[in-house]
Amino acid sequence: MIHLILLGPLAVVGGGLLGAAHERFRRKRLVEKMASKPADATEQEGLLAAKDDLVELRYSERAAHVALAVSAAGALFYPPLGFLSLPFLGYSAFNWMRAHYPSESEQWYKSPLAVVITTGMTAAVLTGFWTLAALILTLDLSLRRWDWELEEGWHQRFVQRVRTWTRRALQGEPRWEWFPILLSRVSLGLFFAISGWNKLFTASHWNGLLGAMKATGLPFPKFLSYFLASVEFYGGSLLTIGFLSTFWAIALAFAMIVAIVTVEIPTVIPPGLGPLDWLDWFLYLPQVMYVILFLWLIIRGPGPHSVDALIARKLGLDKEEGADVRETEDQEAGVTIDMEPEPA
């Protein structure tokens, strides 16, 4: 219990420091983006101040939702999991202290409601009732957001939110495209690296590969076995870190196509099937899915979290993303800052 009393506040403070760093980085990006558009300094400062509270409020609310979900999961299933909610709680509380109700111009410590909520959250954290602290913070943030939306016009906000989620449902979210690319590349790379390692350095796997090569009737079965295992091991290892990803994706895809033609189709798919049944068996082969994923990586690239992307940035060859992909974090929070002058 003593450890939790000591570590709990430290975890909350750590989350608050992360919130401070993220807020500083966000504002720097926003100022740079606004400075690139035609507007004088006074207008830029006015627009920044007008939207800043709502942006902070939305980030804080999202972090509070995560803290509530994690702490509730810990309370219901695995108690140590609740400790992970404290950094999210600290991150949310940092932005919560900076934002205020539209009807209040004072700082948080001058608001009686904020003082009561701060006292309740502090007591809940110190006593280990982390779910209660997250619930208190979530409810207050929801009330603040509703207050903002009522003042700004709830109808316009509701329509904008419906449009945003409809677009995401129909077209996806380009900002998060890096994650499935990273997951696919690393998963495929590790799979083939481990498979190649076993074939090169494990006798049973090597004998199985050599026997399969001899059964296909291909020439030089021992050389081809070494070549295939080496391509899988070295290609998979380098694909995992994203170095020469396109080359290794092509090589591994070609190896899978050869395996499909020489081994899978003759031995796995039963003969005498109709067209639809044959297609069903063909698409069931895991090598077919590997080829499709490799084709996607070849066309889309290894993603920003790769050695290839780092080299491209160093050489100045990285592509400029479209405006729809590089939306600011304020737009992600549901806020649009329009610097263009309104028509007279």
Helices (H), 202-244: 203-216, 221-241
CA proximity to 84, closest of 166, 7, 170: 7
Q: Taking the model in full, what pTM does it have? A: 0.56
Count how many Cα atoms sit within 13 Å of the Cα of residue 262 in the half-sphere of its side chain: 15
The pLDDT tens digits for 257-267 are 988 998 888 88
pLDDT band at 332 (very low <50, low <70, confident <90, very high): very low
Residue 244 has pLDDT above 90, yes or no: yes
Q: Tell me how far CA of residue 60 lies from CA of 30, 139, 326, 332, in angstroms.
A: 18, 12, 22, 13
Residue type, 257: I
Question: Are the C-beta atoms of 53 and 103 separated by less than 8 Å?
Answer: no
Query: Which residues touch 14 (CB under 8 Å, ≥6 apart)?
Result: 87, 90
pLDDT at position 23 is 73
Q: Tell me how far CA of residue 237 lies from CA of 131, 134, 199, 317, in angstroms.
A: 42, 42, 14, 24
Other C-beta atoms lying within 10 Å of the C-beta of residue 286? 11
